Each structure stands twice: as structure tokens, then as C-alpha cells.
Chains A and B, each alone.
Chain A
Amino acid sequence: MTDTTTHLGADSARVEGPAKVTGRARYASEYPLSGMAYVYPVGAPVARGKVRAIDAAEAEAVPGVLGVLWHGNAPRLEEAEPDGLSLAAELQVLQSDEVLYHGHMVAAVVAETTEAARHAAGLLRTDIDRSPHDAAFFRDRDDFYTPEDSDEHRGDPDAQIAGAHAVVDEVYGTAMQHNNPMEPHSTIAEWGAGGLTLHESTQGPHVVRETLAPMVGLEPDQVRVIAPFVGGGFGSKGPLHAPTIVAVLAARAFPGRPMKLLLPRQRMFDQVGYRSPTSMRVRLTAGADGVLTGISADAAVQSSRVAEFIETAAAPARMMYAAPHRRSTHSAVTLDAAPPTWMRAPGECPGMFGPEVAMDELACTLGIDPIELRVRNEPDRDPSSGLPYSSRNLVACLREGARRFGWADHDHAPGARHDGEWLVGAGVASSTYPAMLMPGSSAVVRHLGEGRYEVGIGAADIGTGAETALGLIAAEALEVPADRVRMRIGDTEQPTATVAGGSTGTVSWGSAITAAAQEFRKRHGSAPGTGAEATGDAAPPEEGDAYSSHGFGAQFAEVHVHAHTGEVRVPRLLGVWAVGRVISARTAHSQFLGGMVMGLSMALHESSEVDPRTGHVVNRDLADYHIAANADIGDVQAHWIDEHDPYVNALGAKGIGEIGIVGTAAAIANAAHHATGVRVRDLPLTPDRFV
């Protein structure tokens, strides 16, 4: 690289780290507001029906109970069309008698204490006219439909079977997963004379404002959303969900009193979305040399009677490998279930599992090293759009990963190595995630005097390190030391910021900050007066439409499977990434590690189990819904190669928040096969599959 930057790529400590580890960082539910009241949500105990009546007499008699909201008395909401992130119907809560999924909110108790609210909630008598429901996702259903604009066809992949030297044709499954950020969804809502104020755990304060304002008959500038610290979201805090609306309804019903709704962990399994289970039939056809002639990816997912949400799992197969004949399709089934939502790398994460295991199966069939197989199918242009890549360094990641992991020692025979009681294997898979820049963000730069600057943007740092990275971008653009810049984020009082989603935050917000800094210097020069300020807007890259832009990576896993009990452990994970310029080395490293750990968790543990008789998620807390514990994590390494991409955007950076989870599960499943000879095509890789 030839640039002469001083800040970008720095190994800077997380700026908000001390506040977080000393407990001074205040999360949404932690504001000690006077006059606080507490809201406890009550879900339907059936998956479909109509609420006939709610008898609240006993609940209202509990000392401290202020009231019970239900569709018979809750304030009315306007039918507003949200911004494209949230699902309008999901937000019309306590507005009608319809019960459309198990746990669908039918009432909320408001009380002086959370204990009184919870106790009273248990005393509500809900009279529901129950209807038959259908909440079971399985591939052999006969009522899948084709969502609009979800398929892509090139050539005739079916016709390639006849002449193929090798065919892999299998069905791969990923489990329903719930996002489960450490901080549950939480809101403190207060309806005052000037409008509505929210302390909200969100990935986008301005998204919340723009979505809520028309629903409650306010102008956007009458809604303030405050979210300086957010304890994770993984997508579920991008769109709004029902609990926030219920807190707002309570605030509307009790003006002047802050209403706190801190969602209990069990309700995280029915109120705030999930990743749809996916079932994908993948067919690869290839010659003896491993060169693909056809790729088919037909994904089946679930949607909800409340609103449509499609997990676009077949999409990544469109651009990953070269093949003249290709098909990618989606089919969905509408269930009496809550709507799915975004979960870290929606589409790519579940969508790369099947194809990357299929590539491993093809490599085994042909006796070709799985890295070499991928190299032989490297496209020179995006096979879907036909555009050149702004940069694509998958092969470099595979080769660098192979070197660091020690892949050269790899013998291909499955089930041939052991270490004491444990069978030992290694596996590899590719990762990818699109690099996007979302227009719509603005930033303000202010000179505070004596060379100190404040940079404001309403962006949410959901634990990613965004505040640290944005500070480096601002310092770079202002040409000042990083400690001269103080970021102001997480508040609608700051200029508009797009959602922290789609791995777009750093480049989108950073683009606005760079524009504001350049405007500032243009107007005020290098010796500005105190109080001087300027604003700027995020601009899409000039040649953005001329290139296909994606990050790429390669993940390697060492897997041990217990010979007698089938237990699966992953002592080693290694990822190598090509993601353009890395802005903030330390927090980027954390993002990769976090994604890989979450991918390991998906591979070994995570699965929301729906009881079809009731439609509820049975394992609805963190004791039963297993997320990887520290003891599951061994040596995890993340490295990146030096990638210079002059086309992707002005910063030369690609988003990194999601790519780390893409491909991990496939690498682990491939390694488990290598260890045992057992090919598992449905996640998670639980011991029963191997014993």
C-alpha cells in the first residue's frame, strides 16, 4: 500500500472500554429516572386464536399495579409503513384480538415495581378462542411458495448431470437460532410535553425515531432516542419489535412516568425474532478435474403469518464459484410463528453451510484437496452480475490460512487419526460477505478549542468497536492526533445515522465523518475558531455500480470427536480475511474472533426446538439453549491479508461485523467428517450424530 495514513489500521484500545469494565457505561434499562414504572409483557399461551376477553380484576388488585393494557383499552397506533427494516404488522401490538403465534403479546401489566408487575401478570385470566395452528417447519411440506424476486437462473444446471464426472446432490439443514445478545431488549419510554423520549437498546436510534413517530402521531423531531451503549444485537435490534411498542403504549397511557420494559430472557424466544431454519438442496456437477459445470442451491425457509421475512440463504451461491450453469431459488412456508428477523450475516451465514460442505464432499469424491478444488473454481468476474470484483482475494486467504494452520500435513483419509480417546480431523471452508455502503448518514464536526474536536453522528456502537473506529477515521480526516477527537454517538440529537447492520456501519458513517471533516477544513482551515463546525453526508462510491464488492475469507478448524461418547470439541479455529483496509485493528480482530466463536456455537450447539403441539420454543433460556461457553473455545486466531481496494469506497474498507460467522460451521462439519468419516449435513453437530 502506498498511502501515508497514520491512524487507519491502528491498534487502538477500545475508547469506551474503561467505562464498560468499571460499570460506568449506562445501558438502556439502567437510567435511574424518577417516577419509574415497570411494564411486564404477557404472551398468548396458544399459537393461534382470538382474544375474547381479559379478566384483569385479580391482577389489578395487586398492590402497586397501575393498570393492565390489552387490545380493549390500549392507546391506538397509526398504521404507518416503516422504513423497510421493521415489519409493520409485527408492531401493531395490543391493537386487535388476533393471536398469530405462541407468545404473541396479548396484554401488559404496568406497576410500581417489576415484582408487582410480574406477579400480577401471572394472575391475568385470558379468555382465548383457540384455533388449530401449524408451526412445524420441515422440508417435505407441500405448501411452500416462491417469494417474489428471490430466484436466479443461468443456463441449465439440470442438464449437466448426464455428462458430469462427479455429482454431489444432498440436502443440508441449519437450525432455528435466536439472537440472544447479552443485554436483553430493553426500553425506558417517557411521554412528556415535548414528545417521546426513549432510552432504547437499539442498533439504530434514528431508525427507531423514524419508525415510531408516525405510529404515535408525532413528528420525528418530537421523538428522542438515546442509546450510547448497547449490549449486543446481532441483528435483532435493527428492526423494531413489539416490546418497544408496548413500552411506548404504556408511556402514552401514563404520561409523565418513565415506563421500563426489560424483556425477560424467556421472552427473547418469542418477541424479538430469530434466524429461520433453512433446508437447502445443493447440487454440484463437475468434471474429473473438479471444475464445476453446474451449481444449484434451492433453499427452503420459514416465514410468519404476521409478516413475510425471507432468509435469502441461496444468494451467496450465486457469486462464490465459477460455473456456467447455475440456479438459486427460495421457497418459504407461512407458519403460525413469530416473524424471523436478521441474525448476524442473514442469508450468507446459513447459506454458505450447505455449499461449503458440498464442496468438501466433491473434493472427497474426486480425491482433490479441498483448497485446490476451490482454487480451480475461482471466477474472474462475479458470476451473478457479470461485473468485475473490486477485489477478490479468496485464494490468497486459503493459501495463507493453509500455511498458518499447517494444512500441508493434511492427509485426506477420514477417520484415520486419534489422540487418546479422541478422533482428530481438520477442515476448511470459505467465507464471504458483501461490502456495502448505505447512504443517508450525516455527521457534524465541531472545534472545541485548543485543537480539540467533537464529532457527532447518531450511530449505535453495539459492542463492535464502532466508536473507536470512527474516532480514528475522524482523526485521519482532520489530520489531528486521535486523542484530540471525542465522538458523540448513540443519540438522535446527533446527525442522522443509518442502522448498525449489514456490516455497513463503519464505512457508511465513516464516509459522512470524512465528508464533514473535509468540509470543516474547507470552511475553517487548519486554525479554526472555537465553536466552528461543519457537516457532511455519506456518499456512495463514485464507481460503485461498476464493481462487485465482497469481503472473503478462509476458515480452518481442528475438531476432536470422542470415540465413545460422540462429544465434539474444537481445539483450534483459524481464519484469514481479505476485507480491504482494516480501520481499527484491535476491534476488528475482536469482530473476527466473535464471529468465529458464534459460528462455532452455531456448529456445535445452537438450535431452538419448537414443540409442534404448542408452537413454542422449548429450550427458552440460556441453560437449555446452548451457546458456546468459554470451555468450548480453544485457540482461535484471526489474521488478515493486506488488501488494497481502490474501488469499494473512499476508505478502501469492507465491512467486517458479519463475515466471521460465515463458513465457520462448514469448516467444523468438514473437520468432523475428516475425524470420523461421518458426514453430518444438519446442524448442530451434537454427540448423537457420532455415537
Chain B
Amino acid sequence: MIPFEYVRARDAAGAVAAVAEHPRAAFLAGGTNLVDNMKLGIEAPERIVDVTGLSLDTVDVLPGGGLRIGAGVRNADLAAHPEVRRTYPLLSKALLSGASGQLRNLATTGGNLLQRTRCPYYRHAEMPCNKREPGTGCSALGGVSRDRAVLGASENCVATHPSDMATAMCALDAEAVVQGTDGERRVPVEGLHRLPGDEPHRDTVLEPADLITAVELPPAPEGALSDYYKARERASFAFALASVAVEAVFDGGTVASTRIAFGGVAHKPWRARRAEEALIGHAPTEEAVRAAAAAELAEARPLEGDEFKTRIAAGALTTVFGRLAGRAGEGREDR
């Protein structure tokens, strides 16, 4: 094992300082991704700052409605939380569609947002990878993988962001509360992750010493229905070929408002504003939903062999609106 220094942080400011003062430091929470990557030899922090003792593990209803989720809340606990299940069921469903029960017991909210891509070339230390070693090239381009971005990729990187939870949070207009060296600030989840551009080694807009301490969800719109659909080859323990998180309010037979995000198709959770615009004010017929998906996916640039991913993304959106419209039609309140 490569030797590293282990520091247990007492408070958020101390954790941030401990990482800021060392050029090769990393936060450790659940460890389900970082420790894996250390074993694979693709991450080698010299200092590990353990943030599991920071008491960031509560879920609280905010005074004006909405929810504040501590960054240390475990995925399994968040998925099972009564308020999440009642008000944000798509988030619970997204969480439960990720990883395995054992991993969800350990993985945290903050760590889930910041997990690294599962691109098999990134995860193989022998292979050139711009994300791992800038300037070495992208092996996934021209390589063999079903886990490549179809939206927003660059010639330097075609990795996807793997999180189901982040996709749901993106659709919910969640905000990350970030503690940095200059104090606390808020970053919308939609803007947290970057497109790769010519800096694919940067997954997010955060600085190395920035620590996510919480995620806040705004109140859900009155009467909103929501669902999350993850299309995958294996029925569990598989990353999405494409997924979609949808929240929608129906008024009579039409979509009054909706928020849509795709997962598994880009370097970040992909907020589908064009699809949203195309649907608002219209009846969610299969034809209309497919047209909305087409509007969003018009700028998709799948690599050879990946064309199916846009078809699956469109199919997932069609499926979810079919379900939501059915529930709206039945007048059910179980959203």
C-alpha cells in the first residue's frame, strides 16, 4: 500500500484547512469510491482528511419548506427518509437504483455528488487518460466502452458522470452548500459539474479544498408528480445506459410545469431545459414526449456505436411521462 497521512477533522473549517495546506490531499467520507480508486492505483492522495466525524448526518425540514440534507447522510438513510419518500420520491428511487445495498450503507450524499467517472479507461492505470493524467490522450475515444457521453463531450474526454442521485437533485433544483477557504457559498447542483472541454481532469467547479457540507432541496411544487427511470443492462448493480429524472405538475390534460434531467449521457447530470420547454402547455402524448426528447437530444453527438444511448434516453423519458400522465389521469395523490 502506498503510505498516506490520515487526519480526522474536528469541524468543517478545520477539514478545509487540512486539505488546503497540502497539495495532494483528499476528503474521505464513505470511501466507496476513493478507496476503490486507491486500490486501482489511479488516485494516490498523500493526506486523507476524514470528514465522517463532522456531524453532517442529519436531514432537516427547512422553515419555509424544502429539505436540508447533511453531506454525511448515507445514501441508504436518505433513500429511506420519510420526508424524502413523501415529498421527493424520485430522489429515493434514484438512490435505490444506484450501487448495491452494501455500498449505499456507506456512501454519503456529498461523496455521491463528487464520485469519479466509471470510464473503464480512467479506471485502468496503464491506459492514457486526460482525466487522470492531463495531456496523455483519451483512450475511450476509439476504444471499447458502452459508458461514453453523447452530450457535451469534447475531443479530450467522453466520460460520463455516474450518479443517479445527482441526476435527481439536478431535476429538483437542489443547491450544494459549500465550505471553502473563504467561507460558505451555494452552488446549484445543475452548475456543480462541468463539461470536460479541455480540462477533463476537473469534474466540478469546486476547488480542491472546497467541502460540500449539505444539499438543500427547494419545496416541491403543489401537486407535483415525479419518477426516476434508469435503463440498464443488468437489473441491479449496473450504471445507467441512460436515466431520466422527472418532476411534473399536470393541469387537466396538459403539463403545467416540469423539470427534467438525464443521467448517464454526459460529463454531468444533464438538465433538459429544451425538453421542458417543449412539453409545458402540451398534453404529454407519446408523440409530444418523443418530440421533446428529440429537441433536447438534437445536439447529441454519439460516437460510433453509441447511437443507441440517445434512443434509450428518449425511451426512458417516454416511459416516465407515460407513467406520470397515467397517475395524473387517475387523480392519485401518491406522486
Contacts and interface: CB of A to CB of B under 8 A. Distances in A.
B315 A691 contact: yes
Given A421-B319, A626-B233, A687 B126 contact: no
Interface in A591-650: 604-605, 609-611, 613-614, 616, 618-620, 623-624, 626, 628-632
A679 interface: no
Contacts of A562: 231, 315, 319
Contacts of B231: 562, 565-567, 687
Contacts of B118: 623-624
Contacts of B319: 421, 562, 564-565
A289 interface: no
Interface stretch (B217-225, B234-242, B271-279): B234-242
Interface string A652-691: 0000000000000000000000000000000000111001
Contacts of B235: 569, 629, 631-632
A118 interface: yes
B13 interface: no
Contact of A605 (B41, B233, B315): B233
A623 B143 contact: no
A687 B229 CA distance: 15
B62 interface: no
A619 B120 CA distance: 7
Contact of A628 (B126, B127, B234): B234
A45 interface: yes
B3 to A, nearest CB: 8
Interface in B103-140: 118, 120-121, 124-127, 139
A18 interface: no
Nearest to B309: A688
B219 to A, nearest CB: 31
Interface in A191-225: none
Nearest to A564: B315
Given A45-B126, A605-B233, A115 B1 contact: yes
Given A613-B142, A629-B234, A564 B1 contact: no
B1 A624 contact: no
B234 A626 contact: yes
A478 B115 CA distance: 62
A404 interface: no
B311 interface: yes
Contacts of A604: 233-234
Contact of B322 (A115, A421, A623): A421
Nearest to A122: B41
What secondary structure prevails in chain B residues at the interface with A? loop
Contacts of A421: 319, 322
B312 interface: yes
Nearest to A627: B234
A691 B311 contact: yes
Contacts of B315: 562-566, 691
Interface string B1-13: 1100000000000
B318 interface: yes
B261 interface: no
A118 B1 contact: yes
Contacts of A566: 231, 308, 311-312, 315
A631 B2 contact: no
Contacts of B41: 122
Contact of A630 (B124, B144, B236): B236
Contacts of B55: none
B1 A119 contact: yes
A361 to B, nearest CB: 24
Contacts of A569: 235
Given A119-B1, A119-B2, A609 B144 contact: yes
A691 B322 CA distance: 17
A569 B238 CA distance: 14
B174 interface: no
Most chain A CB within 10 A, of B118, B127, B235, is at B235
A686 B311 CA distance: 14
A623 B314 CA distance: 25
A613 B231 CA distance: 30
Nearest to A634: B235
B58 interface: no
Contact of A687 (B121, B142, B233, B236): B233
Given A564-B318, A623-B118, A613 B234 contact: no
Nearest to B311: A691
Contact of A629 (B144, B237, B314, B316): B237
B136 to A, nearest CB: 14
Contact of B241 (A119, A609, A611, A687): A687
Interface in A542-571: 562-567, 569
B2 A564 contact: no
A618 B120 CA distance: 6
B232 interface: yes
B144 A686 contact: no
Most chain B CB within 10 A, of A421, A563, A630, A691, is at A691
Contact of B238 (A115, A611, A618, A626): A626
Contacts of A619: 120
A631 B41 CA distance: 31
B290 to A, nearest CB: 9
Contacts of B234: 604-605, 626, 628-629, 631-632
Contacts of B236: 629-632
Interface string B136-160: 0001001111100000000000000
B243 to A, nearest CB: 10
Contacts of B233: 567, 604-605, 626, 686-687
Nearest to B121: A618
Contacts of B142: 613
A563 B231 CA distance: 12
A603 to B, nearest CB: 12
Interface string B197-235: 000000000000000000000000000000001011111
Interface in B83-114: none
Interface string B304-330: 000010011011101100100000000
A663 B262 CA distance: 38
Nearest to B143: A611
A618 B144 CA distance: 7
Nearest to B41: A122
B244 to A, nearest CB: 10
Nearest to B235: A631
A134 to B, nearest CB: 16
Contacts of A631: 234-237
B287 to A, nearest CB: 13
Contacts of B126: 45, 616
A687 B139 CA distance: 24
Contacts of B120: 618-620, 624
Contacts of A119: 1-2
B250 to A, nearest CB: 19
Contacts of B322: 421, 564
Those 6 A-B pairs whose CB atoms lie nearest each other, nearest first: A564-B315, A688-B308, A115-B1, A631-B235, A631-B236, A565-B231
Given A626-B238, A630-B236, A687-B312, 10 more contacts: A122-B41, A562-B315, A565-B316, A604-B233, A626-B234, A629-B236, A687-B241, A687-B308, A691-B311, A691-B312
Interface of B: 1-2, 41, 118, 120-121, 124-127, 139, 142-146, 229, 231-238, 241-242, 308, 311-312, 314-316, 318-319, 322
23 contacts: A564-B314, A564-B322, A565-B241, A565-B242, A566-B231, A566-B311, A567-B231, A604-B234, A605-B233, A609-B145, A614-B127, A619-B120, A620-B120, A629-B235, A630-B236, A631-B235, A631-B237, A632-B234, A686-B146, A687-B241, A688-B241, A691-B311, A691-B315
